[in-house]
Amino acid sequence: MYAIPQLKYTESGNFLLMAGPCAIESREVAFEIAERIQKITDKLEIPWIFKGSYRKANRTRLDSFTGIGDEKALQVLAEVSKHFGVPTVTDIHAAEEAAMAAAYVDVLQIPAFLCRQTDLLVAAAKTGKTINVKKGQFLSGSAMRFAVDKIRESGNPNIILTDRGNSFGYSDLVVDFRNIPDMQENKVPVLMDVTHSLQQPNQSSGVTGGKPELIGTIAKAAIAVGADGLFIETHPRPAEAKSDGANMLHLDKLEELLTVLVKIRKAVQ
């Protein structure tokens, strides 16, 4: 189902999980998070991919954290993969970044705001890596077929699509669960980005807000309607996170949530 090296438990029937911190803050934090998720997913037999952005290019304010350095962060991702035997995913923001990031990770992610950028999609496709395309907040699920076509026509069939809500007014998002079956019409796995869909962007402070108390609600609904997987940003100390702390799931709450979601998945099947 997923052409991703090192992906375990695909025969379990469980959903795929992409999880980790928003950004690579340090080797220590990345390893702390990966170790906890690994234990939980092994226990529940959930296939998972460690997520971490090597650089945050889409920031509201100039003084926002963007990263610890490209090569340093990418090396951390490579070390996580080797140490825990888990595939990794990171987002890229320009065509020239595709080959660089592909040397370190298993999955290249296209950010939602960039899902229509042809040069970026084609460059990512040509690496041969699995490509996870976030659906733009400004697009319907059915419109994502054009992103899929660009990648397939560039010679790469290994595609995942991820919903992350739709723009609603100026500072909120709303999740339209019709997007999941609409995107599945492309015969690719479809994930729900639970934590980003609960963002409240464009705040007057210049720092994105969020509603993490609804993470369970969105995750349960996504699995219930047939999503193939979930994307969840998590951190042991969200208040100290360098990026997106306002809408992250506290790492201590991950096992309880995933345990419930596994039961919902089995009931749906």
Structure confidence at residue 62 (pLDDT): 45
Q: Is residue 189 part of a domain?
A: yes
For residue 21, tell me if it sits in a domain. Answer: yes
pLDDT, averaged per 10 consecutive residues of the chain (269 residues), comes to 88 96 95 98 98 77 68 97 98 96 98 97 98 97 98 98 91 93 98 90 53 92 98 93 82 98 96
Is 2 domain-assigned?
no
For 210, the token pair is: 């969020």
Q: Which of 81, 63, 62, 65 is nearest to 25 (CA)?
A: 65
> In terms of Cα–Cα distance, which of 193, 197, 216, 223 is closest to 208?
197
- Per-residue pLDDT, 243: 74
Q: Assess if residue 1 is contained within a domain.
A: no
Backbone angles phi, psi at 107, to 5 degrees: -130, 135
Q: Are 128 and 4 in contact (CB under 8 A)?
A: no
- In sequence order, what are the beta bridge partners of 51? 89
Range of the structural domain that residue 198 is part of: 10-268
pLDDT at 169: 81
Residue 20, in any domain of the structure: yes
Q: What is the pLDDT of residue 2?
A: 79
pLDDT of residue 58: 60
Residue 4 lies in a domain: no
Q: What is the CATH number of the domain that holds 239?
A: 3.20.20.70
Amino acid at position 217, single letter: T
Can you give the pLDDT at residue 31?
A: 98
Task: Report the C-alpha dihedral over residues 166, 169, 172, 178, rounded to 10 degrees.
Answer: -30
Closest CA to 46 of 260, 263, 258: 258
Domain count, the chain: 1
Q: Which pLDDT value is given to residue 25?
A: 94
Q: Is residue 79 part of a domain?
A: yes
- Is 257 part of a structural domain of the chain? yes
